[in-house]
Homo-oligomer: A and B are copies of this chain.
Amino acid sequence: MEPQQMFVKMALQSWDAAVKKMTAVFDGLGDEHIYDAIAPGRNRAIYLLGHMVAVHDRMLPLLGFGDRLYPHLDEVFINNPDKVGTSMPAVQELRDNWRHVNELLKEHFQELGAAEWLQRHMNVSDEDFAQEPLRNKMNVLLSRTNHMASHMGQLALIKAKMVSIT
Contacts and interface: CB of A to CB of B under 8 A. Distances in A.
Interface of A: 1, 3-4, 6-11, 13-14, 18, 38-40, 42, 114-115, 118, 133-134, 136, 138-139, 142-143, 145-147, 149-154, 156-157, 160
21 contacts: A3-B3, A3-B4, A3-B118, A6-B133, A7-B8, A10-B134, A10-B136, A13-B134, A13-B139, A14-B142, A14-B146, A38-B157, A39-B40, A39-B42, A39-B157, A40-B40, A42-B160, A146-B146, A147-B149, A153-B154, A154-B154
A130 to B, nearest CB: 13
Contacts of A152: 150, 153
